[in-house]
Structure 1
Amino acid sequence: MSELKKKEFNRLKNDLDAWREIILFLHDLLDWKYPYSCGWIVSGITALYLVLWKLDLSIVTQLSLLCLFGLLGAFFYPVIAKLFFKPEKWTGVQEKHFEIVINKLLNVKFSVVDFWNTFFWNIADKSIIHVFKTSGVLLGLAWIGASVNNLLLIYLTTLTMCLWPGISQLDEFHVKLNMLKKKLNLSSLSPFKNQ
């Protein structure tokens, strides 16, 4: 582990220490470790978006309420957690699990930063390739956004992001992915690591 990653790891672990029980629960839920995890995820997200659709709130109101719930959660959760989760019940196995989750969160952060840097790698050059690449992606996103309801797009994106950790661990998914790569002759490309 590099020095930068160790610093980031320790900082993130320290920042999320008060939230460790809920983080482990959410990690296990997203990884489908509980029975019916998939159903709970889909039901919860669908119920949330149905409420948002029915309320038909403006974006400013939605963002304000999101920030309000985030503020209240950040204030009250650590106090409530101390009542329900006793520090002496925290085991070494849970600590190792927490460190694995923190490491996964760091890997996601570094992957997003790498993607961002790769996508805009030649912005300083202002080359024609960069302009065409960026314009094509942005025009494609604009066309999709104009064609499909925004709330539906956000719902599908949220659903995909929340179901992806569980789906990507299924053996059947990897079998189908390998069959697709063979048909398309993409065997050298491997965006998914076998776990």
Structure 2
Amino acid sequence: MSIAVDQEQQVKKLKRLLEGWRMALIPLKSIMLWEQQWHPCAIIGCLTTLYLIIWLLDLSTIATFAIMGMIFNFIDFIVPFICNSLYGQNSWTGQKEKMFEDICRSIVIEFNGIKQTIKSFCSLRDSSPLMYYIISVCILCSLAWVASSINNTFLLYILSAVMLLWPGIQHRGIFKTVKSLFKFSPKVVKSE
């Protein structure tokens, strides 16, 4: 019972935090969930343009983070301003409020799921330290090998693409379909 109450408090807090973004989040939700066939292409196109600009500027890492921070701050300032200018308070309906609450609830549920996964992995340190260290070392060695083999900007591009496409992949059931293909794959039988 306290988990549901805590989740509702998190939803209310997130709603207050995203108050200025509420008019922008409703169309953004339809894009992230691929309600039109061209939405994944638009996501990848915008992301590719952004990373192409970053690649062409060839800035140092700190300068890149500084410019990205300035861009995000500008967007965080301008989006609520534009939304409030374009849409008045009269255009906000009960249906839009329900959609906004559903968006906030989805964000809270995903955040809590990620947090729970991290907690369960960290609790593995107490319950099974050997397994914890084996998994940690394997993951970190794999990350180090991939990071040394592939350009870091390209890795960030792939990570960003996966993160932005993930809601649509889940909504369309693509991940479940691929997962079920592995489940029904033929089993290899070892002969003695």
State the TM-score, normalized to the length of structure 1. 0.85
Equivalent positions of 1:39-188 (< 5 A) are 39-124=41-126, 127-170=129-172, 174-183=176-185
After superposition, the CA RMSD in angstroms is: 2.1
Q: Is the 8 A contact 2:51 2:157 kept in 1?
A: yes
Q: Is the 8 A contact 2:15 2:104 kept in 1?
A: yes
CA separation of 1:5 and 1:169: change in aligned 2, threshold 3 A: closer
**CA spacing shift, 1:63–1:184, aligned 2, 3 Å:** farther
CA distance in 2, matches of 1:172, 1:112: 20
Give the letter aligned to residue 31 of structure 1.
L
Give the structure with the larger helix fraction. Answer: 2
Counterpart-to-counterpart distance in 2, 1:121 and 1:40: 40
Q: Distance in 2 between matches of 1:143 and 1:102?
A: 37
Cα distance between partner residues in 2 of 1:120 and 1:111: 14
Per the alignment, do residues 8 and 173 of structure 1 end up closer, same or farther by CA in structure 2, a change over 3 Å counting? closer
Name the stretch that deviates more: 48-57 or 121-130.
121-130
Which amino acid counterpart does residue 101 of structure 1 have in structure 2?
A: I
For residue 174 of structure 1, report the CA deviation from its aligned partner.
Answer: 4.2
State the partner residue of 1:193.
none
Residues 158, 114 of structure 1: alpha-carbon distance in 2 compared, 3 angstrom cutoff:
same
**1:16 aligned to 2:18?**
yes
Q: Aligned in 2, Cα 1:172/1:120: closer, same or farther, shift over 3 Å?
A: closer
2:190 corresponds in structure 1 to none
What do residues 56-105 of structure 1 show as CA deviations (whole Å, max 9, x unaligned)? 11111111112212222333332332211111111121111111111110
Using a 3 Å threshold, how does the CA distance of structure 1 residues 126 and 57 change in structure 2: closer, same or farther?
farther
Give secondary structure in 2 for the equivalent of 1:138. helix
Uncovered stretches (5+) of structure 1, i.e. residues with no partner: 186-195
Task: Number of aligned residue pairs: give it.
Answer: 185
TM-score in terms of structure 2 length:
0.87
Deviations 1:137-191 (A, max 9, x none): 1111111111111111111111122122223333666444323222278xxxxxx
1:125 is displaced (CA, Å) by 6.6
